[in-house]
Chain A
């Protein structure tokens, strides 16, 4: 891929938003979008974890899996690398930065099983990104995810005062809203294509 890391970064936020075009990371997106504040905390944690795990998994892939010819094990290896990193990060933050822990750290366990994190690691391999591109793609995807969850949280805050049909309350209406937002993001897609 001869696309510059800078372009990739912006593309990951807008034209190929990991949540709105690939619908990855939906579980925590739906469950933590009830309040703006917690959505912001979770989103920030996702940015950080996405950027670092993309870098980590890139290194693991190119310096461990490829040389030893065990590329077919990438799914399992990526997952345990992500899980171990998130756990480690949580312990570290909890111990040395309690203030940060209370705003960001508590979301970390939720992220271990976030498909967006795993998805980014897989995309960077499938699309054959180099290290810089992978990090830019990870960071951009994280910011894109934060953007999406913040928008949904904002809309859901307004929605609290509105009468939603009983059958659609909660996840139902959130998914419809997400669909409409995704349609909106299609508008960006003419700018740059990365997939």
Chain B
């Protein structure tokens, strides 16, 4: 008796649920079927998407993640993006979260805009670009005893769009005794013009989980993933003179910048100070000598701090800072790009400010 009661109640309850769910499914089919629509992002990428969802959900289905803190309820205002056309009128749910200027600039909340017809939107380039890439290792070169250059070929015909100087986050896979996955940031050392593959320059850090994996375990042909590009350390498009200061694997972003400048051409006066301990730490020297010939006014200055007499080093020695003086023509019209350890960055920044460079024009990427 009791059991029968329980069973009928459960059946009734489920029946009500099923009927309502059925009505909803039918309604979804008939009422919110807007067919395939065209989604255009930044006038670059065209995508065929299924209409009927919010713009935020549609984008995340396409692996483009606009930040959203409230999960699409229209209360945080984080998912702002520019809808050029096809977004319908501004909704009362959006108005309180948008300033007058934003409303005039057709900024909308992606979680409130419904994709029902062809739509044309603009989102910050960095959000649009940050993606996860699957790659295969194409080449591994030994630059020094502890620095390797590794080329990652993107798969499935994908391309990466980045600015010279930006970095990616490499994802390790468990190896040997290391069970966890880690993510580490490395600057891209190849030029942005080469967009179907990237090169990273990675130095072996004793006990480093990712660098040990890269140096001792990775082979040509291995599958590796990274996300990116990230970062605001990139070459500014101005006419100012440039000082590059970077040692070790910090050479990576500088290499990318110089290769990029070689592609686009430049008349800027540039000097690159490469700080190292001994001649054993020097690498890519011939390549950078070629840059000296190519550019109107570029000089590559390796500075060794611990060169022994046997090495017959005839170049500059000691710290890099004293040599800045000759390289700075007009401190107010000089940009500096630094890449290296936090200690090196702060020492060099301090010295550059003493030479009269303005702090806003000193850009750096610190190995945190």
Bound Cα distance A41, B95 (Å): 13
Q: Is the beta-carbon distance between A73 and B92 smaller than 8 angstroms? A: no
User: Nearest-CB distance from B87 to chain A (Å)?
Assistant: 11
User: Nearest-CB distance from A52 to chain B (Å)?
Assistant: 15
User: Nearest-CB distance from B23 to chain A (Å)?
Assistant: 7
Write out, one digit per residue, whether chain A residues 90-134 have a CB within 8 A of any chain B CB (1) or not (0). 011011001000110011000000000000000000000000000
Write out, one digit per residue, whether chain A residues 11-39 have a CB within 8 A of any chain B CB (1) or not (0). 00000000000000000000100110110
In chain A, what residue has the closest Cβ to B91? A106
In chain A, what residue has the closest Cβ to B114? A94
| Chain B residues positioned under 8 Å from A87 (CB to CB) | 24, 27
Q: Is the beta-carbon distance between A38 and B95 smaller than 8 angstroms? A: yes
| Chain A residues positioned under 8 Å from B9 (CB to CB) | 70, 73
Bound Cα distance A147, B31 (Å): 33
Stretch at the interface among A75-83, A137-145, A167-175, A181-189: A75-83
Q: Which applies to chain A's interface (DSSP): helix, strand, loop or mixed?
A: helix
Bound Cα distance A34, B77 (Å): 15
| Chain B residues positioned under 8 Å from A80 (CB to CB) | 16-17, 20
Write out, one digit per residue, whether chain B residues 228-255 have a CB within 8 A of any chain A CB (1) or not (0). 0000000000000000000000000000
Bound Cα distance A102, B23 (Å): 24
| Chain A residues positioned under 8 Å from B20 (CB to CB) | 80-81, 84
Bound Cα distance A35, B92 (Å): 9
B89 interfacial contact with A, CB 8 Å: yes
A64 interfacial contact with B, CB 8 Å: yes
Q: Is the beta-carbon distance between B27 and A102 smaller than 8 angstroms? A: no
| Chain A residues positioned under 8 Å from B75 (CB to CB) | 31
Q: Is the beta-carbon distance between B93 and A92 smaller than 8 angstroms? A: no
Write out, one digit per residue, whether chain B residues 100-128 have a CB within 8 A of any chain A CB (1) or not (0). 00000000000010100000000000000
Bound Cα distance A31, B74 (Å): 11
Bound Cα distance A55, B366 (Å): 66
In chain A, what residue has the closest Cβ to B34? A95
Q: Is the beta-carbon distance between B96 and A94 smaller than 8 angstroms? A: no
Considering only residues 82-101 of chain B, those with a C-beta below 8 Å from chain A are 88-89, 91-93, 95-96
Q: Which applies to chain B's interface (DSSP): helix, strand, loop or mixed?
A: helix
| Chain A residues positioned under 8 Å from B93 (CB to CB) | 38, 106-107
Q: Is the beta-carbon distance between A91 and B96 smaller than 8 angstroms? A: no
Q: Is the beta-carbon distance between A94 and B32 smaller than 8 angstroms? A: yes
Bound Cα distance A81, B92 (Å): 27
Q: How many A-B residue pairs have CB under 8 A?
A: 59
Q: Is the beta-carbon distance between B92 and A91 smaller than 8 angstroms? A: no
In chain B, what residue has the closest Cβ to A42? B92
| Chain B residues positioned under 8 Å from A103 (CB to CB) | 92
| Chain B residues positioned under 8 Å from A94 (CB to CB) | 31-32, 114
User: Nearest-CB distance from A174 to chain B (Å)?
Assistant: 14
In chain A, what residue has the closest Cβ to B13? A73
When the two chains form the complex, which single residue of B16, B17, B32 contacts A91, counting CB atoms closer than 8 Å?
B32
B28 interfacial contact with A, CB 8 Å: yes
Bound Cα distance A87, B31 (Å): 11
Q: Is the beta-carbon distance between B92 and A34 smaller than 8 angstroms? A: no
Known contacts: A31-B75, A76-B13. The answer to whether A102 contacts B31 by CB under 8 A is: no
| Chain B residues positioned under 8 Å from A31 (CB to CB) | 75
A88 interfacial contact with B, CB 8 Å: yes
User: Nearest-CB distance from B238 to chain A (Å)?
Assistant: 43
Considering only residues 313-364 of chain B, those with a C-beta below 8 Å from chain A are none
Q: Is the beta-carbon distance between A38 and B16 smaller than 8 angstroms? A: no
| Chain A residues positioned under 8 Å from B95 (CB to CB) | 35, 37-38
B182 interfacial contact with A, CB 8 Å: no
B12 interfacial contact with A, CB 8 Å: yes
Bound Cα distance A98, B89 (Å): 10
Q: Is the beta-carbon distance between B27 and A92 smaller than 8 angstroms? A: yes
Write out, one digit per residue, whether chain B residues 59-91 have a CB within 8 A of any chain A CB (1) or not (0). 000000000000000010000000000001101
| Chain B residues positioned under 8 Å from A38 (CB to CB) | 92-93, 95-96
Bound Cα distance A76, B32 (Å): 26
A68 interfacial contact with B, CB 8 Å: yes
Pick 25 A–B contacts, CB within 8 A, sort by A: A35-B92, A35-B95, A38-B92, A38-B95, A41-B92, A68-B8, A68-B12, A73-B9, A73-B12, A77-B13, A77-B16, A80-B17, A84-B21, A88-B23, A88-B27, A91-B27, A92-B31, A94-B32, A102-B88, A102-B89, A102-B91, A103-B92, A106-B92, A107-B92, A107-B93
The 10 closest A-B pairs by CB, nearest first: A38-B92, A91-B31, A84-B20, A95-B31, A34-B96, A91-B27, A106-B91, A91-B32, A106-B93, A70-B9
Interface residues of B (CB under 8 A from A): 8-9, 12-13, 16-17, 20-21, 23-24, 27-28, 31-32, 75, 88-89, 91-93, 95-96, 112, 114
> Contacts A73-B13, A77-B16, A92-B31 given; 12 further ones with Cβ under 8 A?
A34-B96, A35-B92, A37-B92, A41-B92, A70-B9, A88-B23, A88-B24, A91-B28, A95-B31, A102-B88, A106-B91, A107-B93
